[in-house]
Amino acid sequence: MNVLAMVLAGGRVDELLCLTEMRPKAALPVFGTYRIIDFVLSNLMHAGVNNVGVLSQYRPYALVRHIGTGEHWDFVGRSRDIRMLPPYRGSKASDWYKGTADAVYQNISYIEHFHPEHLLVASADHIYRMDYRPFIDFHIDRGADATACFTMTKRKSSRFGYGVIDRTGKLIDYQEKPDKPPSDWVSMTLYLFKTDFMIDVLKTNAKEQSHEFGRDIIAKIGANCRLSAYKFRGYWAYARTVDSYYDTNMDLIRGKVALSDWQVRTNLLERCVRGDRLPAHINGKVANSVVSEGCVIHGIVKNSLLSPGVTVAPGAEVYDSIIFHDTSIEANAKLTKVICDKDVRIGSESTVGGFGADTPSREYKELLRSGITMIGRNTIVPARTEIGANTAIYSGARITQEHIEPGSTIR
Amino acid sequence: MKKNIIAMLLAGGVGSRLNVLVSKRAKPALPFGAIYRIIDFTLSSIANSNIDVVGILTQYKPLSLMEHIDGGRPWDLFGRTRLVEILPPKTGEEISDWYKGTSDAIFQNIGFVEDHSPEFVLIVSGDHIYSMDYNEIIAIHRARDADATVSLIRVPQETVSHFGIAETDGTGRITDWVEKPKTAKSNLASMGVYVFKREPLIRAITEAAKDSGSDFAKDVIPRMMRKQRVYGFIFDGYWRDVGTIHSYWQTNMEMLDPGSELKIRDWGIKTNLSAKGEIGDRPPAFISRNANVVNSLIARGCIIEGEVRNSILSPGVSVARKARVTDSVIFHDSMIDKECLVQSCIIDKQVSVGAKTQIGSGELIPNKKHPAHLYTGISIIGKLASIAPGITIGKNCVINPDARLTTKDHKSVPSGSTI
Q: What are the domain boundaries of chain A?
A: 3-253, 277-411
Which of A201-205, A322-326, B18-22, B192-196 is the least confident region? B18-22
- Under the banding of pLDDT at 50, 70 and 90, the label for residue B16 is confident
DSSP string, B266-295: HHT----SSSTTSSTTPPPEEE-TT-EEES
Residue B142 CB burial class (10 angstroms; 0-12, 13-18, ≥19): middle
Q: In this predicted structure, what is the pLDDT of residue B363?
A: 86
pLDDT of residue B194: 96
Residue A192 to residue B321: CA distance in whole angstroms: 46
B42 plus B150 within the same structural domain: yes
Choices 3.40.50.970, 3.40.190.10, 3.40.640.10, 3.90.550.10: CATH for A3-253 = 3.90.550.10
- In the chain, the amino acid numbered A226 is R
Phi, psi of B29 (to 5 degrees): -90, 0
In 3D space, the residue among B152, B173, B137, B191 whose CA is nearest the CA of residue B5 turns out to be B137
Within an 8 Å CB–CB cutoff, is residue A164 touching chain B?
no
Which tens digits make up the pLDDT trace of A224-266?
A: 789 999 999 999 998 889 999 999 999 999 999 999 899 999 9
Contact B330, B312 (CB under 8 A): yes
Q: Which amino acid is at B385?
A: A
pLDDT at res. A157 = 75
- Cβ of A69 under 8 Å from any chain B Cβ? no
Shortest distance between the Cα of B37 and any Cα of chain A, in A, equals: 13
Nearest residue of B to residue A33, measured between CA atoms:
B284
Residue B243 sits at the vertex; the CA angle it makes with B237 and B248, to the nearest 5 degrees, is 80
How far is residue B78's CA from residue A159's CA, in Å, rounded to a whole number? 49
- Exposure pattern of A3-20 as b/e (b: 16+ CB <10 Å)? bbbbbbbbbebebbbbbb
At B67-81, the pLDDT tens digits run 899 889 889 898 888
Does position A115 have pLDDT exceeding 80, yes or no? Answer: yes
Query: Domain range spanning residue B345?
Result: 278-419
DSSP H or E run through B381: strand B379-381
A292 close contact with B: CB closer than 8 A: yes
Asked whether the beta carbons of B55 and B90 are under 8 A apart, the reply is no
- CATH number for the domain that contains residue B144: 3.90.550.10
Whether residues B43 and B139 fall in one domain: yes
Please tell me what DSSP assigns to residue B173. B
For chain A, the distance separating the N- and C-terminal CA atoms, rounded to the nearest angstrom, is 49
Residue A268: its chain B contacts at CB < 8 A?
273-274, 279-280
Q: How many independent structural domains does chain B possess? A: 2
Q: Which residues of A touch B284 (CB under 8 A)?
A: 31-33, 280, 290-293, 305-306
User: Whole-angstrom Cα distance, residue B185 to residue B183?
Assistant: 7
Q: What is the pLDDT of residue B65?
A: 84
Q: Residues A17-57: pLDDT tens digits?
A: 999 988 889 999 999 999 999 999 999 999 999 999 999 88
In this structure, the answer to whether residues B287 and B176 fall within a common structural domain is no
Residue B73 lies in a domain: yes
| A99 within 8 A of A210, measured Cβ to Cβ | yes
pLDDT band at B63 (very low <50, low <70, confident <90, very high): confident
Residues 215-274 of A with CB under 8 A from B: 252-253, 259-260, 263-265, 268-269, 273
Domain end, chosen from B254, B269, B286, is at B254
Write down the H helix ranges in A20-131. Answer: 37-47, 61-67, 100-105, 108-114
pLDDT > 70 in chain B, percent: 97
CB contact under 8 A, B292 and A72: no
Chain B residues contacting A via beta carbons under 8 Å: 33-35, 255-256, 264-265, 268-271, 273-274, 279-301, 303, 312-313
Looking at the complex, report in whole angstroms how far the Cα of residue A71 sits from the nearest Cα belonging to chain B.
11
Global ipTM: 0.87
Q: B282: distance to nearest CA of chain A, Å?
A: 6
More confident residue, B365 or B64: B365
HSE-CB of A87 using CA atoms within 13 angstroms: 16
The mean pLDDT value of chain A amounts to 91
Decide if pLDDT at A269 tops 60: yes
Q: Give me the CATH number covering residue B338.
A: 2.160.10.10
CA proximity to A180, closest of A163, A197, A157? A157
Q: pLDDT at residue B209 above 90? A: no
What CATH fold (topology level) applies to the domain A277-411? UDP N-Acetylglucosamine Acyltransferase; domain 1 (2.160.10)
Calculate mean pLDDT across residues B191-214: 92
For residue A267, report the phi and psi dihedrals to the nearest 5 degrees: -80, 110
User: In this structure, are residues A335 and A61 in contact, taking their beta carbons and an 8 Å threshold?
Assistant: no
Q: Which residues of A touch B298 (CB under 8 A)?
A: 279-280, 282, 291
Residue B95, pLDDT score: 63
